[in-house]
Amino acid sequence: MNSSRCAACKHLRRRCPSDCIFAPYFPSNNPRRFAYVHKIFGASNVGKILQDLPVSYRGEAANTLCYEAYCRIKDPVYGCAGIVDQLNEQLKVAEYQLATIKAAITTTLQPSYLLDQSLHML
């Protein structure tokens, strides 16, 4: 056994090869990171996803897989899709408020309205 095994190889109780697909993205000092993706996607699927990507994209892919796995562990029914739903709702509310306020401005800034308001002040 290699004493400097990555978190994935430690978790899988195997030797960490020098060209380990997991090692650069799952360092041994953060074992939970691999435990999450292993529980949700399985080591083999994570390895396949990383292997199929150019090396420069693998770090981001490992990060987003961890994020998704964490979301699914936290919320086994909705996972990351629950966050997408919440954000879509918040965006709908913000866009509705924006549209309402813009429509109100269009009315309010009509010269006739401004004149009317100021005459009340005189």
Q: How far is the CB of 33 from a copy of itself (least distance, A)?
A: 14
CA 78 vs CA 22, 40, 62, 71, 93: distances in Å: 27, 13, 21, 8, 21
Question: How far apart are alpha carbons 74 and 27 in whole angstroms?
Answer: 23
Q: Is 53 in the site for a copy of itself (CB under 8 A)?
A: yes
Tally of CB atoms within 10 A around 36:
20
Q: Is 52 in the site for a copy of itself (CB under 8 A)?
A: yes
Of 2 and 117, CB closest to a copy of itself = 117
Pick the stretch among 9-17, 26-34, 91-99 that binds a copy of itself (CB under 8 A): 91-99
Binding to a copy of itself by CB under 8 A, coded x per residue (else -) over 2-41, reads -------------------------------------xxx
List all residues 6 or more positions away from 30 whose beta carbon is below 8 Å from its beta carbon: 7
Tokens 């699914």 locate to 72
Phi, psi at residue 96, to the nearest 5°?
-70, -45
Specify the 3-state DSSP secondary structure of 53.
coil
Return residues touching a copy of itself (CB under 8 A).
39-42, 44-45, 49, 52-53, 57, 60-61, 63-65, 67-68, 72, 76-84, 87-88, 90-91, 94-95, 97-98, 101-102, 105, 108-109, 111, 114-115, 117-119, 121
